[in-house]
Structure 1
Amino acid sequence: MRKRKVVDLYRAPFPLYTIKVDAATGLVITAGGGGASKTGIQNAVHFLDLQLIGKNQYSTSLLHSHDTEKRATMNMAVGDGVIAAGQDGTCSLMKFKLCQQKEEKAAHKHGNTIELSNARRRPGKAGKDNLDKHAATGEILDTRDETAHITVTNLAEVLSDLNPRDPLQKVVRFSPDMNLLLTGGTDGYIRIWEFPSLKKKFDFKAHEEEIEDLDMSTESKQLVTVGRDFTCNVWSGNQLVTGLNWYETRPQIAEKSYRYMACRFGYSADEKDALRLYTVQIPHRRDKKHPPCYITKWDGKILLPMLTSPCGTEVISSLAVSDSGRFLGLGTVTGSVAIYIAFSLQNLYYVHESHGIVVTDLVFLPNFLKGQNIKGNNKTAMLSVAVDSRCQVHTVTKGSKFGMSF
């Protein structure tokens, strides 16, 4: 079977580690860099303009690059015009604003010629005769261009990881109501601040080893955390409610042969107001047989496992859930990208080694950006970024049949 090829949507001059979509402004925000090492590789946050071309194609252009100096952004959360960026052991908060500016340009009389800017002329008769008319009367021809201008302001920083050896924030989230900022890092602590005041609410030791992921439910405000210590825990405030046990769905698998890698809440599109939690489990050790990874779907209210399905032998590196709750996105350490149906955990789309190196983040496009339909004739569209500096878009068009599994 011929390998499916995905065209790059954007390529940055540095490794990309995270990507988000701001539905209010329509901006795609991606970030990364070369870190503190003196390699000459930039550290920056890039703001991209995404456009739907025709019914199911996309194009993008760079609107603004914000230099983050000596620190690369490894993870981030976006909400209400604020970026919370994980940079080493700190969480840096930046406010961004998109302004549409109208630039007035003119055709000036210069000797016997008219000098026109490269802006579009107002509608009307074009050509040499029209220009000669303006030249003869000495009239100044006004033109206007509408250009996007982005301003970025550094707001504050908080220490989000206190590992004495190598502090590193691994994950950051805003609570669904935007009242809290939550971080997790290599020291195993969850730290929670009130937002936007950044007053420390509390912190607690959630895992014995570094934290891989966290997410907060929209209904019950329960917090789910994933650690490298084989556990996935549920918290109410800083109190442990329960630990999840996906082995109940696969009793033949020995405990501690797998560890949790990621967690995401999402609403079920097929069951009204049904909250679901999705977790990914990867082998703790790799061997020659390459055991499969697994996705587990949980009841988001009572937190009992509903369904577990294998998702291939490539080690999963990233997980995303669409806003509609219909689709799951998976990226792998070998650069492959897949889209699954959330209800049945069936594979719908797969590209082998689309990036060729570890996929660092995924995000689904919302149905609308700035009030305009951005999906076109696609069932869904998902963006991926990787260490290869590339941003790609993966689409499932209407009428597509089930894809091949990993």
Structure 2
Amino acid sequence: MSRTLTKFSVKVDFPVYCTVFTPSGEILLGGGGGTGNTGVKNKLVLFEPKLSEKSLEKLTETILSGEEDRPTCIALHTKENIFSCNINSSEEKIKIGENNNCRIFQYSNEKIELIRTVQTITSTNEDDYQRVNAFSQNGKLLATGGTDSKLTVLKYPSLNIAFPPLNFNKQEIYDLDFDSTGNQLLVVSANTLKILSTKKGESIHTIEKPVFRKNSRCQFRACRFGKGITAGYFYTVVNMTSESRTFIVKWNAVTFERVSTKAIGKKRITAFAISDNGKLLGFGTSDHGIGICDSKSLKVLLFVSKVHGFPPTTIAFSHDSTTVVSGSADNSVHIIQLPEKFDSGGFRLFLILIGTLIAFYAIFYQFYLID
């Protein structure tokens, strides 16, 4: 039976800030109400998607401390049932410089259990947090970046520092990603993209924010190395600040030259991901929509508008690249099972042209031939 487009939304009992698919297809969600007496618990929850029933079945969950912050990012280890996520310690501990923000959890369908903690945020400002993290494909490195402008790369499983942390000149780190070898790390702040060697943390190449129009203001928002068929490229999201335009840019990962640029829409992209087969790019937009792009042409293959009540905070592909999950702070999760083939739009355009010609002929016949 061929796979057709299926999509549905599910409400959960907490704001969703991060998500990832496990290798066997379960969905791990993180989020909550944060610190303070909000009444909304901070959680990590593992669900099994029931696509035919358009529902999520809860397998297990961990209720986190209400005195600490909610999880804000998740990275799954590629070889073990391990994931890393950020959970800021209590405000009291942060103020005295004790913030064990980087947490390592072990998971199964029965239990999610904290096993290690390490501090990568040294700021005493309680508003600073770890925005992003990622394991290398071989599972030997874990990179973290945050609002304190500091990039930290740890060895796994020791969690010792691989090389001295790098500072991004007071710019928040928005996103990062390892290449397939684990030898290079792609990092973006608002104004700068850096490609680093993971051996010593040395810069291989730096790209300043691209300018698409004279005097236009642009910011990097997200980045991903290509995979599979797109392994020789990397991708960046660029949001315009002075105008309502958003672009996805494809770059050559060897020469660092811009290959192609595609205007995706008028609303800013808030979440970004690439499928494991490297064929698809997924994105969430500030007008609460979810889209899918072809990674070669950057053509938008699918866009579903207003699937969330707030802008999507996270988006992820299943490991077989057939399903997409997105989450938002409005307590909603949206699931899309992708079709085997996307409508190219050519046949639809053909029908529109035929309809236009028929209408034109009818008008011509009525006014010119009847008499």
Q: For the Cα contact (< 8 Å) 2:8–2:54, is it kept in 1?
A: no
- Structure 1: 5+ residue runs without aligned partners? 99-149, 368-374
Counterpart of 1:107?
none
CA deviation map 1:34-87 (0-9, x unaligned): 00121110100010012443xxx7542001111111231011111211121111
Question: Does 1:299 find its partner at 2:260?
Answer: no
SS at match of 1:201: coil
CA deviation map 1:107-163 (0-9, x unaligned): xxxxxxxxxxxxxxxxxxxxxxxxxxxxxxxxxxxxxxxxxxx12221111112223
Q: Alignment identity in percent?
A: 24
For 1:276 and 1:347, how far apart are their aligned partners in 2? 18
Counterpart of 2:65?
69
Q: For the Cα contact (< 8 Å) 1:11–1:391, is it kept in 2?
A: yes
Counterpart of 2:283?
330
Q: CA deviation at 1:20?
A: 0.3
* Structure with greater strand share of residues: 1
CA deviation map 1:297-342 (0-9, x unaligned): 1112332211001010111101110111111111012211111111
For 2:58 and 2:275, how far apart are their aligned partners in 1? 24
Matches for 1:23-62 after TM superposition, within 5 Å: 23=23, 25-53=24-52, 58-62=54-58
- What is the TM-score of this pair, normalised by structure 1? 0.75
Q: For the Cα contact (< 8 Å) 1:268–1:343, is it kept in 2?
A: no
Q: CA deviation at 1:268?
A: 5.2
Q: For the Cα contact (< 8 Å) 1:206–1:225, is it kept in 2?
A: no
Q: Label 1:225 to 1:354 Cα distance change in 2 as closer, same or farther (>3 A).
A: same
Counterpart of 1:217?
179
For 2:208 and 2:156, how far apart are their aligned partners in 1? 32
Q: CA deviation at 1:395?
A: 3.4
Q: Label 1:152 to 1:399 Cα distance change in 2 as closer, same or farther (>3 A).
A: closer
Counterpart of 1:385?
327
For 2:105 and 2:281, how far apart are their aligned partners in 1? 29
Equivalent in 210, 220, 239 of residue 282 of structure 1 = 239
Q: CA RMSD in A?
A: 2.2
Q: Label 1:268 to 1:298 Cα distance change in 2 as closer, same or farther (>3 A).
A: farther
Equivalent residue pairs, number: 323
Counterpart of 2:21?
21
Q: CA deviation at 1:220?
A: 6.3
For 1:212 and 1:194, how far apart are their aligned partners in 2? 22
Question: Does 1:247 find its partner at 2:210?
Answer: yes
SS at match of 1:176: coil
Q: For the Cα contact (< 8 Å) 1:6–1:354, is it kept in 2?
A: no
For 1:161 and 1:155, how far apart are their aligned partners in 2? 19
Q: CA deviation at 1:253?
A: 3.9
SS at match of 2:44: strand
Equivalent in 127, 152, 157 of residue 196 of structure 1 = 157
Q: CA deviation at 1:381?
A: 2.4
Q: Label 1:395 to 1:52 Cα distance change in 2 as closer, same or farther (>3 A).
A: closer
Matches for 1:64-213 after TM superposition, within 5 Å: 64-70=60-66, 71-79=69-77, 80-88=80-88, 90-98=101-109, 150-165=110-125, 166-202=127-163, 203-213=165-175
Q: For the Cα contact (< 8 Å) 2:34–2:70, is it kept in 1?
A: yes
Q: CA deviation at 1:263?
A: 0.2
- Structure 2: 5+ residue runs without aligned partners? 89-98, 349-371
Q: For the Cα contact (< 8 Å) 2:22–2:319, is it kept in 1?
A: no
Q: For the Cα contact (< 8 Å) 2:233–2:252, is it kept in 1?
A: yes
* Structure with greater helix share of residues: 2
User: What amino acid sits opposite 2:343 in the alignment?
Assistant: K
Counterpart of 2:293?
340
For 2:27 and 2:220, how far apart are their aligned partners in 1? 29
- What is the TM-score of this pair, normalised by structure 2? 0.81
Q: For the Cα contact (< 8 Å) 1:296–1:307, is it kept in 2?
A: yes
Q: For the Cα contact (< 8 Å) 1:52–1:59, is it kept in 2?
A: yes
Q: For the Cα contact (< 8 Å) 1:246–1:305, is it kept in 2?
A: no
For 1:33 and 1:20, how far apart are their aligned partners in 2? 16
CA deviation map 1:259-299 (0-9, x unaligned): 10000112253x7xx422010001234xxxx4311100111
User: What amino acid sits opposite 1:34 in the alignment?
Assistant: G
Counterpart of 2:358?
none
Structure of higher CA gyration radius = 1
